[in-house]
Amino acid sequence: MNFPSLFSPLKIGPYQLTHRVAMAPLTRMRAERPSLAPRPLNAEYYGQRATPGGLIIAEASPVMATGHGNAGVPGIYSDAQVKGWRAVVDAVHAKGGLIFLQLWHVGRVSHSSFQPGGVLPVAPSAVPISADLKTMTADGKPAAYETPRALETAEIAGVVDSFRHAAINAQQAGFDGVEIHGANGYLIEQFLQSKTNRRTDQYGGSIENRARLLMEIAQAAIEVWGANRVGVRLSPYGIANDSGEADPMPLYTHVIKSLDPLGLAYLHFIEPRSSGAGRAEVNHQNVPSAMVLFRSVWSGVLISAGGFTGETAEAAIAAGHADAIAFGRIFISNPDLPRRLREGYPLTPYNRATFYGGEEKGYTDYPAYGELEQA
C-alpha cells in the first residue's frame, strides 16, 4: 500500500489537488481604500503563491459592513469588491491553482470606528473582550475594545443572509469554493462558545443552540455552492481574541458530528499550539492536537494548520492525522513554498513587522528560491 505524502494527490470536493501544501487564510490589510476591493497588488501576491493543482484559501473577507474590525481588509459584499476579487482569482487560475475565499464576520473583535454610523460592534451577547487586549481604530489609533451590542433574535436571519450573498458574490468572482470562518474568536465562534454566548433564545444555551448559527450559515453556503465546494474552519482549544470554551470536547464533538453528514469539501483546524499566531509569535506548550483529537469524528477531508514545518507536515499526513496541511507565516515569506518543501530548499524567514498593511514590502517582494542568488 502506498502511504499518502505531502506531495501525493488529493481530491477535495470535485477538485483534484496535485499536492497537499495549502496556503492558509492570511489577513494582510492591503485592499484599496475606501472601496475595500482587492487591487492589482493583491492579485500579484496571490498569483505568486499559486501552483498547478495547489489550494489557496484567500484571506478572511467580511460578508457585510458590520463584519469589519481591521483597516484595509477586503470585503465581499460590493460590486467593486467582486470585480477586484475576480482579478485575484484569474491570477491564481492562470497558474492552474485553486482558490477558496474565507467568509468572515468579526463580531465583537471590532471597534465602533469601523461600524456604519459609528455604532457599537455586534455580538451574540454584550460581553466585552478582556481589557488586557487592545485594538486599533479605523484611523490607526490604539484603543480599548468596547462592550458589543447583543444581536436581536430577528437580526440573525440578516447575518445568515449576508453570508449567503457573500457566497453568491464569491461565485461571481470565480472562486472555486468558500470557507466559513468559524475560528479564532470571531462572530461564529462567539456564538459557539459559552464564554461569549449568554443568549436565552434559540441561538444560546444548549450546545445545539450555540451551533445553530454556524449550521444555518453552512446551509446557506451549501445552497449556493453545493456542499462539496464549502469548507469550515474551526479552532477548538484556541484562545485567540479572548476566546476559549471551558470544556471544548463536547462542544466541538457535537459541531463536527453535525457538519460531518453534510458532505463538505473539508474541515480545517487551527492547531491550539498556534492559537493567536496572527497577533504574536506563540508556541503554546502542553496543549492538545485538534487533528488527533477529532479525526475520528470527521469522515471527510481534514486540513490542519499551525506551526507545521515540512517534516511535521509530512509526518502528520503519513500518520493519517490530516489529509493536507495549510501553511500561514512561512507561505508569506516563501511564495514558492510547495517547491521549497518538496526540494528541501532552505526557507526565507518572515518579517512580522510587514504582516499587516503597507504596500509591496513584505508582501510581493519575497523572492522565489531560484531568484535568491540574483536578488
Residue 86: closest CA among 177, 180, 169:
169
Size of the site for ligand FMN (CB under 6 A): 23
- Interface with ligand FMN, residue 192, by CB under 6 A: no
Cα–Cα distance for residue pair 201/187, rounded to 1 Å:
17
- Choice from 103, 183, 227, 301 touching ligand FMN (CB under 6 A): 183
Task: Give the residue with the Cβ less far from ligand FMN, 228 or 235.
Answer: 235
Q: Footprint of ligand FMN on residues 31-60 (CB under 6 A)?
A: 59-60
CB of 50 to ligand FMN, least distance (A): 17
Confirm if 220 and 167 have CB atoms less than 8 A apart. Answer: yes
Question: In the structure grid, which three cell numbers stand for residue 120, read together?
Answer: 457599537
186 is catalytic: yes
- Choice from 47, 177, 204, 306 touching ligand FMN (CB under 6 A): 306
- Choice from 30, 181, 199, 340 touching ligand FMN (CB under 6 A): 181
Residue among 45, 46, 186, 266 flagged as catalytic: 186
Q: Is the peptide bond before 34 cis (omega within 30 degrees of 0)?
A: yes
Q: Footprint of ligand FMN on residues 11-30 (CB under 6 A)?
A: 24-27
Dihedral class, residue 2 (left if φ above 0, else alpha if ψ from -120 to 50, else beta): beta
Q: Which residues contact 13 (CB under 8 A, 6 or more apart)?
A: 177, 228, 229, 265, 266
Confirm if 222 and 179 have CB atoms less than 8 A apart. Answer: no
The mark string for 124-163 relative to ligand FMN (x by CB under 6 A, - otherwise) is ----------------------------------------
CB-based burial, 279-301: b 16+ in 10 Å, e otherwise: eeebebeeeebbbebbbeebebb
Site of interaction with ligand FMN (CB under 6 A): 24-27, 59-60, 102, 181, 183-184, 233, 270, 274, 277-278, 305-308, 327-329, 355
Which residues are catalytic, by number?
186
